[in-house]
Amino acid sequence: MALEPTCLVLMALRQERCADVQVLLNAQQSDGSWGSFASDDEASGLTGLALLTLNTLGVVPRAATQAANWLLETKGREANWPWRWKFRTTDTRVNLDPDKFGWPWEAGTCSWVVPTAFALLALKHSFPSCRNGKIAHRIERGVEMLQDRACPQGGWNAGNGVVYGTPMAPHIDATAIALLALRGRPKNRLIHRSLRWLEHQAGLCRAAWSLAWSILALDAYELPVVTLQQRLATVVEPHETCDTATLAAVALALDCKVAGNSFKVAE
């Protein structure tokens, strides 16, 4: 079992009786996390996506609680004081504020955009009305991390926005997922700039995966997506249907106006 396509398929089938969450539960590790594959022993940065899936399906609260606790305890490497000191004194070529941290792809590595965005979505969904203490702290640090690592022109790359003094180019999928995680925050200059960039890129994009995530993000911000949905329905080539994750993302994007947007999580 691969975690990402499994989660996206379960979310796409959330209104169907065939959506069997047991396959996801069977892959959960004893500490509450998931590996990228069922055979992995190491926790994956997609644990936030798995928790969001459980929350969306509204089942097995015990498994969801374990996953939320794991997320609350997990931090990017820069959150540990030796690494904070290193990034402030000797390794200053990477432009980041180590006081602003999120979630890593793998244990012992620094925070990355997509794991942080999925973790924020999952925690905000898990605790819609009770965000005190550790919960509020982790959510705020994750939000600050995304804002800190944004690309200078708006949008997000996979990691840092500036590396060795060179501005990084944003990626469509990372930008869309980060914007989903920041929905409900005050629309500051960064969010406005990133939404404009994403709207422009989505208008040119013909890659089904990126276009699907663009639709989900723009819809979450109440921006028009019908034209993009119509184009998405025409660009999915038959050979792409063997990629289950892409097919599920396309289904979620095409259905978001009718069945609801699973990634439109309240602040």
Query: Measured between alpha carbons, how far is 77 from 175 in angstroms, rounded to an integer?
Result: 22
Q: Tell me: the pLDDT tens digits for 89-98? A: 555 666 667 7
**Residue 19 domain-assigned?**
yes
Average pLDDT over residues 40-61: 92
Give the mean pLDDT of the chain.
90
Query: Measured between alpha carbons, how far is 214 from 173 in angstroms, rounded to an integer?
Result: 7
Residue 169 has pLDDT above 70, yes or no: yes
Position 25 scores a pLDDT of 94
Domain of 35? Answer: 3-148
Matching residue, tokens 């022109």: 153
How many domains are contained in the chain?
1
**Residue 166 domain-assigned?**
no
Q: Tell me: the pLDDT tens digits for 140-149? A: 999 999 999 9
Contact assessment for residue 74 and residue 111, using Cβ atoms and an 8 Å cutoff: no
Residue 219 has pLDDT above 90, yes or no: yes
Query: Measured between alpha carbons, how far is 84 from 89 in angstroms, rounded to an integer?
Result: 9
Q: How many Cα atoms are found within 13 Å in the side-chain-facing hemisphere of 125? A: 29
**H helical segments located in 90-188:** 113-126, 133-148, 172-182
Position 175 scores a pLDDT of 98
**Residue 86 domain-assigned?**
yes
Position 83 scores a pLDDT of 54
More confident call, 52 vs 15: 52
**Residue 43 domain-assigned?**
yes
Position 60 scores a pLDDT of 79
Which of these ranges, 15-24, 115-124, 143-152, 251-260, has the smallest mean pLDDT? 15-24
**Residue 265 domain-assigned?**
no
Contact assessment for residue 124 and residue 97, using Cβ atoms and an 8 Å cutoff: no
pLDDT band, very low/low/confident/very high, at 78 (cuts 50, 70, 90): confident
**Residue 51 domain-assigned?**
yes
**Residue 24 domain-assigned?**
yes
pTM for this entry: 0.93
Write the CB contacts of 204 (distance below 8 Å, at least 6 apart in sequence).
none
